[in-house]
Structure 1
């Protein structure tokens, strides 16, 4: 059995559904009801954690306060939810016999390291995080807890995957975003490879190479025209501007090599969906 925290949220629900489809018995826990949520409660309360983790083989931890909460909630609330509850979950998971922990983090932890100068930043796991706010700080602190826990663990740093206007999503999917379905697929793979540990970026199928970084900061349109001319044409057909500068590229090569992650729902899929008509987020 797998316990999924944050199972009523966008990412948690997608992971729960994908794990269910892969044959796992799923128990979801969240503060609000949802299709995949059978335990409703606050993870800062130990009885809630223990009810969620009883008999669980795997803990998938997605529940957290997120970047939009910065400035709206006190820093102490971030630490209590993102760090304190994570520490409690890991301790209870170990005591109750879980064999695997998957933690969902964010590429936001790279923080100030994402700020480009004369070239786009190539964002792989060798880039040292430089947290810029309480969200980044607490997600990184939780990563450290996960890495140090006795249970076999893996952390996925997922890139941007929340709903946005189509033109904005399309631009981000070029270099710094991921479809939530690909996140869910990555989670299933990470759970299925129990010997894989560490931290991995999870992003979309981006068309660039490290040697493109200088050109991307100067004339991204030219690089796109060379790498993905069909995408450039589709942007123009939609009346969307082709970006003239890109500041970063998220690299998921390490996840591909470690557990076979292969994102499929990139900008081309979004463009096909857009061409098929309305109904998207």
Structure 2
């Protein structure tokens, strides 16, 4: 298929484009910043560019990964988030509808599920986050606009029959966390594979699975995260003494962490459950916490990216 990939210069796009080509697709990358995987420079908020690209490139399906993200709140105003995340998604959906498409994959975020109450983690149990979780009350403009874009995808399925898959991806960014600095970046990322992280390679692979299954499913919203080793029965213990729960699942973890100077989490306040995408799309992330421990045990490279100096290509051009 001839696929339009938005956000092609970004962290996900630069990994996703080669996978798509490897699967036999012809990829047109669109981004505001130049990059090796980008053929069209422009914003999804520009309807003229979108329509011209569809016509010139014979686009047959869309993977929409372009967005302003949570760290961008410090750099852009609310209107920019509306323009890019909402209007940009509408532009692409309209173009796909008029072209008679049957496949639209939207990169969303688990962040929109995190209300201020969830973020505060004040409860006696870890919050269990799956597709049935609600009510959804995003705590910032990023989450609000991504939720609105999800609803546009749902609407275009119900009104026009455009098959759309929404992927609420957990964390896969390579840079440091912009709010928590208690642990080293690698240590924090490793811990998050227990409950709220995946590799960028797995995030890209999930998009290929969604592209393949979209016509069969019609519409679906799925959390994409490394499979958690926990279940709901662990929720209270995770909130009170996560290290003990981890020790029962992974007896070798404490020693492997100590040898590297890392710390296991004392408490875990939320868990993303990605079972639904495995059941519906047959997709499961390849890299999980056991793989992290395996790398530590073998003194092998850590199987996830960490780059404290990473900057978004769109910011490098500013």
TM-score of the superposed pair, with normalisation by structure 2: 0.84
Q: Which residue of structure 2 aligns with residue 114 of structure 1?
A: 118
Residue 242 in structure 1 maps to residue 264 in structure 2: yes
Contact 1:28 1:52 in 2 (8 A): no
Q: Which residue of structure 2 aligns with residue 253 of structure 1?
A: 275
Query: Cα offset for 1:13?
Result: 2.0
TM-score of the superposed pair, with normalisation by structure 1: 0.95
Query: Cα offset for 1:99?
Result: 1.8
What does 1:1-281 correspond to in 2, within 5 Å? 1-54=2-55, 55-112=58-115, 114-115=118-119, 116=121, 117-128=123-134, 129-149=136-156, 150=160, 151-163=162-174, 164=176, 165-193=185-213, 194-196=215-217, 197-273=219-295, 275-276=299-300, 281=306
Query: Cα offset for 1:271?
Result: 4.5
SS at match of 1:157: strand
Contact 2:61 2:102 in 1 (8 A): yes
Q: How large is the RMSD of aligned CA atoms in angstroms?
A: 1.7
CA distance in 1, matches of 2:108, 2:305: 26
Contact 2:199 2:305 in 1 (8 A): no
Contact 1:39 1:51 in 2 (8 A): no
Structure 2: gaps (5+ residues): 177-184, 307-318
CA distance in 1, matches of 2:244, 2:197: 21
Structure 1: gaps (5+ residues): none
Q: Which residue of structure 1 aligns with residue 311 of structure 2?
A: none
CA distance in 1, matches of 2:141, 2:305: 32
CA distance in 2, matches of 1:66, 1:75: 12
Contact 1:217 1:246 in 2 (8 A): yes
Contact 2:225 2:272 in 1 (8 A): yes
Contact 1:125 1:201 in 2 (8 A): yes
CA distance in 2, matches of 1:34, 1:269: 31
